Amino acid sequence: MTEPTLEPLPEDWERALVIAAHPDDVEYGAAAAIARWTAQGKQVVYCMVTSGEAGIDTMPPEQTGPLREKEERDAAAVVGVDEVEFLGYADGVVEYGLPLRRDVARAIRRHRPDVVITGNFHETFGGVLLNQADHIAVGRAVLDGARDAGNRWVFTELLDEGLEPWNKVRAIWAAGSPEAAHGVDITATFELGVRSLEAHAGYLGALPGHPEPAEFLGMFARQAGPRLGVEYASVFEVYPLMLY
C-alpha cells in the first residue's frame, strides 16, 4: 500500500527552539532539517533536558555526562547551531510534571521561538518498537509547557525572573513521529545530518552493533523522500498552537 504524501513544513519563520530528552535525540532525524534552516539564516537553539549520563553502560555517569554534552555541542555546530543548553534532569528517570513544565515554559519565554521542535513522544516508534520513557515525558511537557509559556497566571514565579509571557509559538513539531503528515526536503543537507550524528562517536562506539550513521539515517530518509517528491526527507508531526 502506498503511504500518504507529506505536506511540506512552512519555512516562513525566524526562530526555533529544540527541546529534547537526551544528547543525540536531535541527530536521529531532525539534524539535517535544522542544517537546511540554519543555512536559510534561521536561528535555532538546542535545549537538552538531560545530559545523557546513563547512556553508556561501561562508563560511570560522572564521566559520561560531560562526554555527551561535548558531543552534543559538536553535533550542533555541524548543522549551524551554536547555542546548546542542558537542564540537568537525571537521565532515564525524567518525570512529566510541574517542574518540567515550568522549565520548558522558562526556556520558551527566554528564547521566544516561532516554533518548538521535539521528538516523537508516542508510546511506540510505529508497530511494536517501544519508545523510551524520557522521550514520552519530555514531549508531553513540551506540549503543555509551550502553552504555559503564554499564560501570565501559570508559573507566576517566572514573572519575578523578568520573563514575560510568550504566546507566539505557532506550533510544536515532533520529529520522527509515526503519525507524521509533514516533511522537509533534506536532500541537500543529508550529509550534514550524518556528520552531526557521527559527532557522537563516544556514545555510538559504546552501542554494540549500531549501524553506520549514513546507513541508519539513509534508510529512513529514503523511505520518506518519495512521499514528499524528493530523494531524502525528514518527517514531523505538527501540533498547531496558532493559525498559520
- Model pLDDT for residues 186-216, shown as the tens digit of each residue: 999 999 999 999 999 999 999 989 999 999 9
Q: Are 15 and 113 in contact (CB under 8 A)?
A: yes
The 3-class secondary structure across the chain, one letter per residue, is CCCCCCEECCCCCCEEEEEECCCCCCCCCCHHHHHHHHHCCCEEEEEEEECCCCCCCCCCHHHHHHHHHHHHHHHHHHCCCCCEEEEEECCCCCCCCHHHHHHHHHHHHHHCCCEEEEECCCCECCCCCECCHHHHHHHHHHHHHHHHCCCCCCCCHHHHCCCCCCCCCCEEEEECCCCCCEEEECCCCHHHHHHHHHCCHHHHHCCCCCCCHHHHHHHHHHHHHHHHCCCCEEEEEEEECCCC
Give pLDDT, residue 3.
81
Give pLDDT, residue 29.
86
Cα 54 from Cα 188, distance rounded (Å): 34
Give pLDDT, residue 91.
98
Cα 72 from Cα 43, distance rounded (Å): 17
Of the chain, the end-to-end C-alpha distance in Å amounts to 32
Residue 82, φ and ψ in degrees, nearest 5: -110, 5
- What are the domain boundaries of the chain? 7-240
With 0-12 / 13-18 / 19 or more C-beta atoms within 10 angstroms meaning exposed / middle / buried, residue 141 is buried
Give pLDDT, residue 82.
98
Q: Are 237 and 7 in contact (CB under 8 A)?
A: no
User: pTM (2 decimals)?
Assistant: 0.96
CATH topology of domain 7-240: Rossmann fold (3.40.50)
All residue ranges of the chain with pLDDT < 70 are 1, 243-244
Bridge partners of residue 237, in order along the sequence: 174
Give pLDDT, residue 224.
97
Give pLDDT, residue 244.
45
